[in-house]
Amino acid sequence: MTKDALLDAAESVLFEHGTQALTLAAVADRAGVSKGGLLYHFPTKEALVTAMVARVIAEFDELIDSFDDGAPGGRDRAYVLATFEILTGEARAHRRWSAITAAAADPELAAPLNEAMARWHGRPNGHEPCGEDPDPVGSMVVRLAAEGLWEVVSHAPGLYDGARLEALKQRLLGLLPR
């Protein structure tokens, strides 16, 4: 059993049953391994949640990097494109929400996610955005709109069809400077 398969099982438990249901026994059962097999990789629930959060952060960072063309405003466009890749790509949208839900209960577990959010929203260490942005407020509005859409779709996956999501993506991209 790989760590990723165990993390997938944990995310499924969270997505289907909520934070209260996330126990090591439930994850082991979902993954089809003994609790000892799970403990070998993740000795505590906190270690499991930490790994889930780290995976979400790494996955989103990779997507942003893959879309960033290095041009002015490229990071903001990459953020929007990465968001929609997750929302409309494989059935992965639940992953982020599940990890955030699990981490939110403990400030220590949420710290890496909070740091990543500051970076993703162009505010490393909570300071003003880096680089030359002709419309920093407009860029913030676009990123926050994408973030809000992700939240809504996480709770109601069927709310917007593919055509509506594409229209939203194009409108958000159109609001960013070229």
Q: What is the pLDDT of residues 42-87, one digit of tens each?
A: 999 999 989 988 988 898 899 999 999 988 888 899 999 999 988 8
* Boundaries of every domain in the chain: 1-43, 52-174
CATH topology of domain 1-43: Arc Repressor Mutant, subunit A (1.10.10)
pTM comes to: 0.83
Q: What is the pLDDT of residues 111-163, one digit of tens each?
A: 888 899 888 887 654 444 555 677 888 899 999 999 899 888 877 878 999 89
Q: DSSP letters along 40-98, please? A: HH-SSHHHHHHHHHHHHHHHHHHHHHHH--SSTTHHHHHHHHHHHHHHHSSS-HHHHHH
Measured CA distances, 68 to 7, 72, 76 (Å):
28, 10, 8
Cα–Cα distance measured from residue 81 to residue 109, given in angstroms and rounded to the nearest whole number: 27
